Amino acid sequence: MLRFIAGLLLVVIMSVPAFAQNMFEAKAHEMLDRGAGVEVFKSKKTGLGIISIGHGSHRSPNKALEIARLDALKQLGAFLGGETVSGSESAQMSYQDGIAKESFFSKVSSNVQAFLKSTKVVASGDSGRESWVALAITEKNQFVRDSLMQLDTSNEVKARGVASLKPGVVKARKLALAQALRNAVEQYAGVQTASRSTVENNGKLHSGVAAISHGQVEKYSILKEYVKGKQYVIEIAARISEKENEHSLDAVKESLGRPSFYIATKDGRLTRMLQSALSKADYPVTSQKSSARYIVAAHVNKEQYDIPANSTMKGMRTEINISVSDSKNVRDVLFKISNDPEDSVEISANMELLERNSYRYALETIEEEFVSAINRTLNQQFNNGAKVLVQLTGFRNMDQINEFQRCLEALPLTKSVTSRPIVKHSIEFELIYLGNPDSLQVDVMKKAREFRLRRLGACGTKNGQLVFSYM
């Protein structure tokens, strides 16, 4: 059993035959009746497997289904890969006018990160005010191998999509097809999930789940479509390519607060070209450095030279150097990119044309690498957290420093806090933060109320650092 569970992360792609689909649906309804969330089962037809049921509620039925699907992914990831849970609680007693007053605070945080491959949406429906989705993952067996033999190529999979009929049949069909195409990519390339849930202040719940998958559908055919209950169902066969799909980063961008870029260069032509490259990749560019999440520093080295065979012509080579850093930690460069000047040679008698083409050739050779490096950076920060520097000034004793550090550590999305030596009545803390750093300043001030930090004030940013001070 344990070897099977560990091996599930590497299972092969499978399709769901009709007999297995009926069995999955029956099992899912049985689990719903018993209130089960995740369950291991064994069948002669499918071998060992796991079914996970997620729930979601939203005024939009289709959003409720998506929330339920992500909830099922989170539960399945926690079951297979384990779930990190941390908790803390504190109680205080005070007396006022002879009356004892007690305050109690408790917090439980959980983090789940997993890579799930071959998960299937096998059933879904409505239960009262909630929607539910059942996912399944099964062991490789003879039935799976037989079904794979029927497919044209090894990168072709079958997938199922469902949508509520409440918005109408036309919209439901479109949404069901879109879900089936996405599910096909996830089944072939796997889906990476990260979830962060926090329960604090007597049951107030904040949670977020994001899922990413890399791949794209090259072609597909509809095998079956029908109405079942209050839902429209589409089943497809799709051929998947493992090429990078930039749209799969949407979940990560949302989780990080749709980060924007500030271009730091004195060269107007280069600024316009970088703006265009970022816009094509759906990354917002801001003219305000203080509001940007990332700083793109760029400069140009251009060499103009004579053409011996023709005195009216000039040649030009251009080298573009780009470095990207996080605005909350400008001292650490996330990545650097530069082109080979020999790939940017242009010869012309027109000086405007000479420079424009040489610049264009230079950027074209590194534009794809530039965007891919940004994508990788966002994925890494989503999964591992971003490094944020926080400065504290105006403290009078070590107790105030320690209390501030405990406040930072108590933030639900803080992964780690490291303090640096005190320099000139100032101390720096290095945070690895899983959330959106742009909201960190407000989050710290809210959390400060639960600690002895009544005179703490936020002083904005300085050299990319968040600054706080005791007033």
The pLDDT tens digits along the chain (471 residues) read 434 443 433 333 334 455 567 888 888 898 888 888 888 877 777 677 788 998 888 888 888 888 888 888 888 877 776 666 656 555 555 555 555 555 555 656 666 666 676 788 889 998 777 899 998 887 653 443 444 344 444 567 888 889 888 888 888 888 888 888 888 887 877 766 656 565 555 555 556 666 666 667 777 888 888 888 889 999 888 887 765 544 456 666 766 778 899 999 999 999 999 999 999 988 999 998 888 889 999 999 999 999 888 888 999 999 999 999 988 777 788 999 999 999 999 999 999 999 999 999 999 999 999 998 998 888 777 767 788 889 999 998 898 999 999 999 888 778 889 999 998 889 999 988 877 787 888 888 888 888 878 889 888 877 778 899 998
Backbone angles phi, psi at 267, to 5 degrees: -90, 110
Cβ neighbours of residue 44 closer than 8 Å, sequence gap 6 or more: none
C-alpha to C-alpha distance for 186 and 116, rounded to whole angstroms: 9
pLDDT of residue 144: 37
Q: Report how far residue 427's alpha carbon sits from residue 394's, in angstroms, rounded to the nearest whole number.
A: 10
Distances in Å between the Cα of 357 and the Cα atoms of 71, 144, 400, 426 are 51, 55, 58, 50
What does the alpha-carbon distance between residue 198 and residue 110 come to, in Å, rounded to a whole number? Answer: 7
Determine if residue 461 is left, alpha or beta; phi over 0 gives left, psi from -120 to 50 gives alpha, anything else beta: beta
pLDDT at 243: 58
Closest C-alpha to 139, from 117, 160, 123: 117
| Residue labelled with tokens 């070590």 | 398
> Residue 302 CA to chain centroid, in angstroms?
38
Closest CA to 302 of 336, 270, 334: 270
| C-alpha span between 195 and 411 (Å, rounded) | 16
Place of tokens 């949302």: 254
- Which residues make beta-bridge pairs with 295? 262, 325
Residue 231 burial (C-beta neighbours within 10 Å; 0-12, 13-18, 19+): buried
Instruction: Give the model's pLDDT for residue 206.
Output: 55
CA distances from 95 to 99, 100, 421, 437 (A): 5, 5, 39, 39
User: pTM higher than 0.75 for the full model?
Assistant: no
Q: Which of 245, 222, 220, 251 is nearest to 235 (CA)?
A: 222
